[in-house]
Amino acid sequence: MTAVDARRIGAIWQKVLDRRPSVHCITNSVVQNWTANLLLSIGVTPSMTTDLGEISDFVRAADAVLINLGTLDGDRKQAIALALAACGSQKPFVLDPVFVDRSPQRLAFARTIVEQGPQIIRCNQAEADALGLIQARPPATVLAMSGAQDQVIDHTRQITLSHGHRYGAQITGAGCGLSALMAAVLTVEHDATLAAVTTFAAYGIAQEIAGQDAEGPASFAMRLVDALHHLSADRLAYDLKKMEQA
């Protein structure tokens, strides 16, 4: 189990805040507003179009791409294919294989995307099991698995993080927004393992801050956006170091 370098994680987070990158999100219709607000809260410019006539242009203009399979239909499948073609081999993308454990058709489609080598696959345990990601995945792909303890697994390292708040499981799109944030962090950190760890840490600590005054899931969601907006590199590194020493 690899330890987290709190100072380095803080420095990566600062780079995102300084660069203010753009992320094109092909995400499900339920969470578009939430995902956009999370990205905007840290200075990232989101775009969301899935129009087949302009998706390639938007992807080429973005610094990274999120592919989320939440509300998957025929048009979105075509948009995803065009987006991945526009990514080429240089632009990083994150795959969020939502509910592949519930639909054989969705699972088969997700496998074709996995074969194209996303830098990060962000999913839960059931989705990882359905895709067989623990046993096999493209060599350059990092598995970022959400759960009671978050796991980041590459071919040489496994890192566990234990940050977050119980209300995170009671708001729509918590994981989808996390995946979009991972795409943003990939624009400044080419080590996908460190990018995933940084995002898990920042999102989890922001949840802990938001949960301090939240009265329930609704106020928690509002406070989470604010907590991310105010989360500095120093605060992130300090809280990580404090947890290591506890």
The DSSP secondary structure of 147-193, one letter per residue, reads SSSEEEE-SS-EEEE----GGGGGSTTHHHHHHHHHHHHHTT-S-HH
Rounded to 10°, the helix 233-245/6-19 angle is 160
Confidence band, pLDDT 50/70/90 cuts, at residue 4: confident
Number of domains in the chain: 1
CB-facing half-sphere around the CA of 62: CA atoms within 13 A: 32
Query: For residue 139, what pLDDT is reported?
Result: 92
pLDDT of residue 161: 92
Q: Is residue 143 part of a domain?
A: yes
* For residues 209-236, average pLDDT: 96
Domain that holds residue 115: 6-245
Provide the CA 17 distance to its chain's centre, in angstroms: 16
SS3 for 30?
A: coil
Global pTM?
Answer: 0.96
Nearest to 187 by CA among 90, 56, 76: 90
Of residues 150 and 244, more confidence is placed in 150
Mean pLDDT of the region 47-51: 97
- Is 77 a member of any domain? yes
Residue with tokens 């760890």: 197
Six token digits for residue 165:
């708040």
> pLDDT tens for residues 201-215?
999 999 999 999 999
Q: What is the CA radius of gyration of the chain?
A: 17
Short-list 22, 70, 80, CA closest to 50: 80
Mean of all residue pLDDT scores within the chain: 95
Determine what percent of the chain is predicted with pLDDT higher than 70. Answer: 97
The token duo for 243 is 């947890």
pLDDT computed for residue 246 by the predictor: 47
Residue 1 lies in a domain: no
Does any domain span residue 117?
A: yes
Is 33 within the bounds of a domain?
yes
Instruction: For residue 114, give every residue at least 6 positions away whose Cβ sits within 8 Å of its Cβ, in sequence order, or none.
Output: 95, 97, 121, 131, 133, 137, 138, 141
186 belongs to a structural domain? yes
Contact of 150 with 177, CB cutoff 8 Å: no
Summarize the confidence of residues 137-147 as an average pLDDT: 95
Sorting pLDDT into bands at 50, 70 and 90, what band is 2?
A: low
- Asked if residue 171 is part of any domain, the answer here is yes
**pLDDT over 80 at 245, yes or no:** no
Q: Name beta bridge partners: 144.
A: 122, 152
Using CA atoms in the order 83, 86, 90, 93, what is the torsion angle rounded to 10 degrees? -10
Instruction: Provide the CATH number for the domain around residue 191.
Output: 3.40.1190.20
Q: What is the mean pLDDT of residues 3-15?
A: 92
> 16 pLDDT band (50/70/90 cuts)?
very high
Name residue 222's amino acid: M
Within a domain: residue 154?
yes
Predicted local confidence at residue 89, as pLDDT: 81
Q: How confident is the model at residue 1 (pLDDT cuts 50, 70, 90)?
A: very low
Structure token pair of residue 211: 């949960």
Task: Classify residue 31 as left (phi > 0), alpha (psi -120 to 50) or beta.
Answer: alpha
